[in-house]
């Protein structure tokens, strides 16, 4: 802000060429100079610079480096993930294997029970009873014919 | 820099350093010092050991039919400490498992009082009980899988198979003798589980070793017939017990081994129960064979003396006193050909033959036939019988032994001896396990002796005066010997009026395919003799077995079996009894029958004119068409090859002799 001292200086001191040049230069700087503090001869200048029209200069080398780093990072990530994939698959397969193992036990048990039932049904006493009910007769020797060939070591079936 | 600021930074740095040191210290403590502790805890939480079931091996018959098998079943257990109300729990369990609720409640309370965390409720329950209990989803009930032995055919071949105890260890029969082979050894599987106890990885700690299957030589069809017929004979003749052995004389394979009474191995043995039905009489219980042993006596005579089947043997007119004892025959025969000594079962004739043979030769041939030592069959508790050493024989022993007394044998030993005659003179060791190592047969008789003895034994069956008429098999020739021996009362050392009635025989005569020895113990009266009680059993079992073995008939069918009620008192070999009524012997003076040529059967000759069906023309027909046509005409046909019928014999239009079959050759 203008002070009394400045006003008096402006009035009383003659304008010399230097002073004119200074004033001219001062006028150039006046655009950027902030208001002076009273009784202070410290001047702050602010200059706004418009960089909107500034364009980054193209740097292919740096770009390549960036992409290289990016690619290396991706590859590293994939590689590290790939190390864990077999373990994950192994874990999932392990679950499946254990489930199948338990299922196998259940099926084996069922099969044993069915084998027992089948054997009971093929007992000679039961077959005899069925033959009697259906009035079967015993075949005479060598009247039983095996169309597919007689199994080795077996006797003719009743 | 400001000194105070520097000082502050230094303090901060030291604090951070201390904190880092504490973290590192804790890491070392957790991951290195206490590594093992945490690893064990992790293993306990994450790993569990599962048993890999190793089932006990199955027992199969010769055709692969299962006689014994193990099946996994559930057993029920609880944690008494987790049961809040024992009364309710016992009611629920008792209702489903068919237990006594109050007794179960007491057990649960007692177990809880003893702070026991485990208690069996019922072991090896049925599938129905398991399903009912599982459907309730009771979290305080736990199921454990155990193995239970089943015998699907119940009492069939029970004495041979034996049984197991609650831990599936064999305690009788093949289950016991081959327990090491049948026994399986459970393995262990280590399973890693997640937080929900689901397994995701496993490794075998110990591999399971399942038991091996055992295949027997028993044919379950023949076994069934044998058990039915034996039971019928024992009940019909009011006997105490019975035993039967059926054997292939060439290979020694035991096709059937039956005993009566029998038992069901599925039923547990009650404490204090009578275990006698579980005794395998056929191998464990020796008895005096009686007249069956005359076969041995006469065989020894054929081998060591000049006696022949037609040699006349003095028979003392029905009575002889020797070494202070009086021996009777049922008939008054002054003399008999040696073959009739066997057919009529003359005791005096047998004694005279035995005395001709002599002690040492007799003893040698008794040993050759395998008596006095066990047969080595893989069944526990086999008896070697009783045969006194030669040096201990009394002067009268030769007479007793020649008649089948003063010696005790088992049914399997008799079968073995009969097989030697049937197979042409070879000692073949009986076996019950198929594929077992067998020593090579050893010749103990001359072939001609065996053939001659077979013919003489055929005479026992087909001669009108033979004691074994009831052993005639329709369509087959057969031979054998009856035996009726009184049972000794060991307390009073006297003979009782109970008999061991036996029949040992083979069929057919020319190429025997089967030997059957039947004995019923405790028979009484005239209907309890060997020819009456045991011979019919031989007939039925041998007939069924020959049919199943596909053995062609070698004799014309001559109608239904002889139902001769004539008392076979010839078999009775004990002195001191009231002499049975004499029987007229119209052929007493008849000449001895002509000696048969070697290998010739004594069966009736076929008529000269061949009568039979006309053979049709099968040429060009398919196998199925040939089967249909031959079945419709009742013509037996033998098939060879596959495809269409190309050649046949006899030729079309010819007569098919009885007992023959048309052979048809097929080709594509």
- pLDDT per residue over B63-101, tens digit each? 999 999 999 999 999 999 888 898 999 999 999 999 999
Cα-trace Rg, chain B: 37
Using 50, 70 and 90 to split pLDDT, how confident is the model at B356?
A: very high
Active-site residue, selected from the candidate residues B284, B291, B419, B534? B291
User: Looking at the predicted structure, is the pLDDT value of residue B623 above 60?
Assistant: yes
pLDDT in tens, A86-116: 999 989 999 999 899 889 988 998 999 999 9
Say how far apart CA B406 and CA B371 lie, in whole Å.
Answer: 13
DSSP state for residue B559 in the 8-state scheme = S
- How close A112 comes to chain B (CA, Å)? 6
DSSP state for residue B287 in the 8-state scheme = B
> Chain B contacts of A98, Cβ < 8 Å?
191, 198-202
Structure tokens at B295: 């076969």
Residue B537's pLDDT is 96
Average pLDDT score over residue span B627-650: 85
Domain spans of chain A, in order of start: 1-49, 86-136
Asked if the Cβ–Cβ distance from B199 to A142 is below 8 Å, we say no
What does the mean pLDDT of chain B come to? 87
- The partner residue sitting opposite A123, judged by closest CB among B153, B199, B623, is B153
User: Looking at the predicted structure, is the pLDDT value of residue A40 above 80?
Assistant: no
B497 three-class SS:
strand
> Chain A contacts of B201, Cβ < 8 Å?
90-91, 94, 98
Average pLDDT score over residue span B233-257: 95
Give the distance, in angstroms, between the CA of residue B213 and the centroid of all CA atoms in the same chain: 17
Cβ–Cβ contact A141 with B under 8 A: yes
Residue B274's pLDDT is 83
Residue B268's pLDDT is 84
Instruction: Say which range, A1-10, B294-303, B522-531, has the weakest mean pLDDT.
Output: A1-10
| CA B49-B55-B60 angle, 5° bins | 175
Say how far apart CA B330 and CA B482 lie, in whole Å.
Answer: 15
Residue B607's pLDDT is 39
Percent of chain A with pLDDT over 70: 74
Enter the ipTM: 0.72
- Please name the residue of chain A whose CA is at the shortest distance from the CA of residue B150: A116
Say how far apart CA B480 and CA B453 lie, in whole Å.
Answer: 10
- Please name the residue of chain B whose CA is at the shortest distance from the CA of residue A89: B200
Cβ–Cβ contact B221 with A under 8 A: yes
- Please name the residue of chain B whose CA is at the shortest distance from the CA of residue A121: B152
| Beta-strand relationship, B214-215 and B59-60 | parallel
Residue A21's pLDDT is 59
- The partner residue sitting opposite B546, judged by closest CB among A98, A141, A145, is A141
Spatial strand order of the sheet with B644-649 comes to B637-640, B662-667, B644-649
Cβ–Cβ contact B63 with A under 8 A: yes
Asked if the Cβ–Cβ distance from B69 to A125 is below 8 Å, we say no
Query: Which is it for the CA torsion B15, B21, B23, B25, positive or negative?
Result: negative
Say how far apart CA B233 and CA B244 lie, in whole Å.
Answer: 11
| Beta-strand relationship, B662-667 and B644-649 | antiparallel
pLDDT in tens, B380-433: 999 999 999 999 999 889 999 999 999 999 999 999 999 999 999 999 999 999
Using 50, 70 and 90 to split pLDDT, how confident is the model at B653?
A: confident
Residue A24's pLDDT is 58
For residue B206, what are the contacts with CB-CB under 8 A and spacing of at least 6? B52, B187, B188
Cβ–Cβ contact B55 with A under 8 A: yes
Instruction: Produce one character per residue of B656-667: b if its CB has 16 or more CB atoms within 10 Å, e if not.
Output: beeebbbebbbe
Name which residue leads in pLDDT, B158 or B613.
Answer: B158
Using 50, 70 and 90 to split pLDDT, how confident is the model at B497?
A: confident
Q: How big is the A-B interface in CB pairs under 8 Å? A: 102
Identify whether B502 is a catalytic site residue. Answer: no
> Chain B contacts of A101, Cβ < 8 Å?
199, 202
B147 three-class SS:
strand
Query: Scanning the structure block, which residue is given the tokens 């198929």?
Result: B434
pLDDT in tens, B26-50: 999 999 999 999 999 988 888 888 8
User: Looking at the predicted structure, is the pLDDT value of residue B560 above 80?
Assistant: no
Residue B598's pLDDT is 37
Give the distance, in angstroms, between the CA of residue B6 and the centroid of all CA atoms in the same chain: 103
Residue A136's pLDDT is 87
Average pLDDT score over residue span A123-139: 90
Residue B608's pLDDT is 44
- Please name the residue of chain B whose CA is at the shortest distance from the CA of residue A142: B550
Say how far apart CA A122 and CA B67 lie, in whole Å.
Answer: 11
Cβ–Cβ contact B198 with A under 8 A: yes
pLDDT in tens, B222-241: 999 999 999 999 999 889 99
Cβ–Cβ contact B391 with A under 8 A: no
- How close A128 comes to chain B (CA, Å)? 10
Report in angstroms the alpha-carbon separations of B301 from B442, B446, B461, B484, B568: 20, 12, 21, 22, 25
Residue A117's pLDDT is 93
Cβ–Cβ contact A110 with B under 8 A: no
User: Looking at the predicted structure, is the pLDDT value of residue B56 above 90?
Assistant: yes
User: Looking at the predicted structure, is the pLDDT value of residue B604 above 50?
Assistant: no
> Chain A contacts of B627, Cβ < 8 Å?
145, 147
Using 50, 70 and 90 to split pLDDT, how confident is the model at B573?
A: very low
Say how far apart CA B573 and CA B148 lie, in whole Å.
Answer: 50
Cβ–Cβ contact A111 with B under 8 A: no
Asked if the Cβ–Cβ distance from A119 to B219 is below 8 Å, we say no
Cβ–Cβ contact B128 with A under 8 A: no
Cβ–Cβ contact A87 with B under 8 A: no
Asked if the Cβ–Cβ distance from B636 to A139 is below 8 Å, we say no
- The partner residue sitting opposite B221, judged by closest CB among A94, A97, A124, is A124
> Chain A contacts of B661, Cβ < 8 Å?
142
Q: Comparing C-alpha atoms, which of B503, B505, B497 is closest to residue B568? A: B503
User: Looking at the predicted structure, is the pLDDT value of residue B559 above 60?
Assistant: no
Average pLDDT score over residue span B117-145: 90
Asked if the Cβ–Cβ distance from B223 to A128 is below 8 Å, we say no
> Chain B contacts of A128, Cβ < 8 Å?
224
Distance between first and last Cα of chain B: 115
Count CB neighbours of B5 within 10 A: 9
What does the mean pLDDT of chain A come to? 80
Using 50, 70 and 90 to split pLDDT, how confident is the model at B501?
A: very high
Say how far apart CA B291 and CA B530 lie, in whole Å.
Answer: 9
Residue B652's pLDDT is 87
User: Looking at the predicted structure, is the pLDDT value of residue B609 above 70?
Assistant: no
Using 50, 70 and 90 to split pLDDT, how confident is the model at B364?
A: very high
Cβ–Cβ contact A120 with B under 8 A: yes
Instruction: Say which range, A23-27, B146-150, B234-238, B379-383, has the weakest mean pLDDT.
Output: A23-27
Instruction: Say which range, B213-227, B338-352, B469-483, B651-665, has the weakest mean pLDDT.
Output: B651-665
User: Looking at the predicted structure, is the pLDDT value of residue A147 above 70?
Assistant: no
Give the distance, in angstroms, between the CA of residue B262 and the centroid of all CA atoms in the same chain: 12
- The partner residue sitting opposite B152, judged by closest CB among A97, A116, A155, is A116
Q: Comparing C-alpha atoms, which of B554, B536, B570, B561 is closest to residue B466? A: B570
Percent of chain B with pLDDT over 70: 91
Say how far apart CA B189 and CA B192 lie, in whole Å.
Answer: 10
User: Looking at the predicted structure, is the pLDDT value of residue A153 above 80?
Assistant: no
Residue A29's pLDDT is 61
Asked if the Cβ–Cβ distance from A122 to B65 is below 8 Å, we say yes
Q: Comparing C-alpha atoms, which of B355, B79, B59, B12 is closest to residue B215? A: B59
Asked if the Cβ–Cβ distance from A154 to B63 is below 8 Å, we say yes
Asked if the Cβ–Cβ distance from B72 to A112 is below 8 Å, we say yes
Give the distance, in angstroms, between the CA of residue B516 and the centroid of all CA atoms in the same chain: 13
Residue B489's pLDDT is 76
Instruction: Produce one character per residue of A90-128: b if its CB has 16 or more CB atoms within 10 Å, e if not.
Output: eeeebeeebeebeeeeeeebeebeebbeebeeebbeeeb
Say how far apart CA B552 and CA B508 lie, in whole Å.
Answer: 9
Q: How far is it between the farthest Cα atoms of chain A?
A: 160
Secondary structure (H, E, C), A1-65: CCCHHHHHHHHHCCCCHHHHHHHHHHHHHHCCECCCCCCCCCCCECCCCCCCCCCCCCCHHHHHH
Residue B556's pLDDT is 75
Using 50, 70 and 90 to split pLDDT, how confident is the model at B600?
A: very low
Q: How far is it between the farthest Cα atoms of chain B?
A: 155
Name which residue leads in pLDDT, A151 or A116.
Answer: A116
Cis peptide before A34 (omega within 30 of 0): no
Report in angstroms the alpha-carbon separations of B180 from A114, B209, B597: 27, 12, 52
Residue B64's pLDDT is 93
Number of helices and strands in chain A (H, E): 4, 0
User: Looking at the predicted structure, is the pLDDT value of residue B589 above 60?
Assistant: no
Using 50, 70 and 90 to split pLDDT, how confident is the model at A22?
A: low
Asked if the Cβ–Cβ distance from A119 to B153 is below 8 Å, we say yes
> Chain A contacts of B53, Cβ < 8 Å?
105, 108
> Chain B contacts of A97, Cβ < 8 Å?
202
Average pLDDT score over residue span B293-321: 93
E strands in B509-551 = 514-523
Cβ–Cβ contact B624 with A under 8 A: yes
Give the distance, in angstroms, between the CA of residue B61 and the centroid of all CA atoms in the same chain: 10
Q: What is the pTM of this model?
A: 0.74
Cβ–Cβ contact A88 with B under 8 A: no
Count CB neighbours of B501 within 10 A: 33
Name which residue leads in pLDDT, A22 or B376.
Answer: B376
User: Looking at the predicted structure, is the pLDDT value of residue B663 above 50?
Assistant: yes
């Amino acid at each position: 802000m203008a002070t009394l001292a400045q006003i008096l200086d402006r009035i009383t001191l003659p304008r010399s060429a230097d002073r004119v040049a200074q004033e001219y230069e001062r006028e150039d700087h006046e655009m950027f100079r902030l208001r002076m503090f009273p009784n202070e001869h410290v001047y702050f200048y602010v200059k706004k610079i418009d960089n909107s029209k500034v364009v980054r200069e193209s740097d292919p080398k740096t770009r390549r480096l960036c992409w290289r780093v990016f690619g290396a990072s991706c590859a590293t990530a994939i590689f590290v993930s790939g190390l864990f994939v077999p373990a994950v698959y192994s874990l999932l397969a392990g679950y499946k294997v254990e489930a199948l193992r338990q299922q196998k036990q259940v099926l084996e048990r069922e099969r044993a029970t069915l084998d027992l039932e089948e054997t009971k049904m093929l007992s000679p006493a039961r077959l005899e009873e069925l033959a009697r009910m259906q009035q079967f007769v015993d075949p005479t020797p060598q009247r039983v014919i095996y169309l597919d060939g007689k199994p080795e070591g077996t006797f003719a079936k009743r | 820099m400001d000194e105070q600021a520097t000082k502050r930074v230094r303090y901060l740095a030291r604090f951070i350093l201390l904190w880092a040191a504490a973290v590192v210290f804790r890491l070392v403590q957790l991951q290195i010092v206490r590594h093992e502790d945490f690893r064990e805890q992790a293993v306990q939480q994450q790993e569990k050991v599962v048993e890999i079931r190793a089932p006990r091996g199955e027992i199969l018959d010769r055709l692969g039919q299962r006689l014994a098998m193990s099946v996994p079943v559930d057993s029920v257990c609880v944690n008494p400490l987790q049961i809040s109300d024992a009364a309710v729990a016992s009611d629920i369990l008792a209702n489903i498992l068919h237990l006594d609720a109050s007794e179960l409640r007491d057990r649960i309370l007692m177990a809880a009082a003893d702070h026991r965390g485990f208690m069996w409720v019922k072991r090896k329950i049925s599938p129905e009980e398991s399903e009912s209990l599982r459907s309730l989803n009771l979290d305080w009930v736990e199921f454990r899988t155990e193995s239970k032995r089943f015998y699907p055919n119940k009492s069939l071949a029970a004495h041979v198979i034996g049984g197991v105890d609650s831990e599936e260890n064999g305690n009788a029969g093949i289950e016991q003798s081959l327990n090491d082979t049948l026994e399986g050894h459970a393995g262990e599987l280590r399973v890693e589980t997640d937080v929900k106890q689901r397994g995701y990885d496993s490794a075998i700690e110990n591999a399971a070793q399942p038991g091996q299957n055992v295949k027997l030589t028993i044919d379950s069809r023949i076994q069934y017939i044998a058990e039915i017929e034996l039971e019928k004979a024992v009940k019909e003749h009011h006997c105490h017990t019975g035993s039967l052995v059926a054997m292939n004389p060439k290979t020694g394979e035991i096709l059937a081994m039956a005993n009566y009474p029998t038992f069901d191995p599925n039923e547990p043995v009650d404490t204090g129960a009578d275990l006698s039905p579980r005794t395998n009489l056929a191998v464990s219980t020796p008895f005096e064979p009686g007249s069956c042993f005359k076969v041995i006596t006469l065989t020894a005579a054929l081998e060591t003396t000049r006696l022949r089947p037609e040699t006349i043997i003095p028979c003392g007119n029905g009575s002889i006193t020797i070494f202070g004892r009086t021996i009777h025959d049922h008939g008054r025969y002054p003399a008999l050909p040696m073959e009739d000594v066997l057919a009529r079962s003359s005791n005096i004739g047998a004694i005279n033959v035995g005395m001709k043979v002599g002690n040492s030769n007799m003893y040698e041939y008794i040993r050759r036939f395998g008596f006095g030592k066990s047969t080595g069959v893989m069944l526990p508790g086999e008896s070697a019988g009783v045969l006194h050493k030669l040096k201990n024989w009394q002067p009268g022993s030769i007479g007793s032994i020649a008649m089948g007394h003063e010696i005790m044998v088992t049914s399997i030993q008799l079968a073995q001896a009969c097989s030697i005659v049937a197979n042409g003179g070879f000692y073949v060791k009986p076996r019950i396990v198929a594929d077992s190592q067998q020593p090579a047969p050893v010749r103990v008789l001359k072939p001609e002796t065996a053939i001659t003895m077979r013919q003489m034994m055929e005479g026992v069956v087909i001669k009108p005066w033979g004691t074994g008429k009831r052993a005639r098999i329709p369509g087959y020739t057969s031979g054998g010997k009856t035996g009726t021996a009184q049972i000794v009362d060991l307390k009073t050392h006297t003979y009782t009026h109970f008999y061991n009635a036996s029949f040992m025989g083979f069929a057919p005569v020319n190429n025997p395919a089967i030997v059957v020895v039947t004995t019923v113990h405790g028979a009484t009266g005239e209907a309890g003799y060997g020819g009456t009680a045991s011979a019919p059993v031989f007939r039925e079992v041998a007939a069924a077995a020959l049919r199943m073995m596909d053995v062609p008939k070698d004799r014309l069918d001559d109608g239904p079996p002889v139902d001769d009620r004539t008392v076979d008192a010839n078999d009775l070999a004990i002195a001191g009894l009231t002499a049975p009524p004499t029987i007229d012997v119209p052929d007493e003076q008849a000449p001895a029958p002509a000696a048969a040529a070697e290998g010739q059967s004594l069966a009736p000759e076929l008529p000269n004119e061949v009568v039979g069906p006309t053979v049709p023309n099968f040429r060009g027909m398919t196998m199925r068409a040939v089967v249909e046509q031959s079945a419709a005409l009742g013509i037996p046909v033998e098939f060879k090859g596959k495809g269409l019928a190309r050649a046949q014999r006899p030729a079309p239009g010819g007569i098919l002799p009885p007992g023959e079959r048309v052979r048809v050759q097929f080709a594509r």
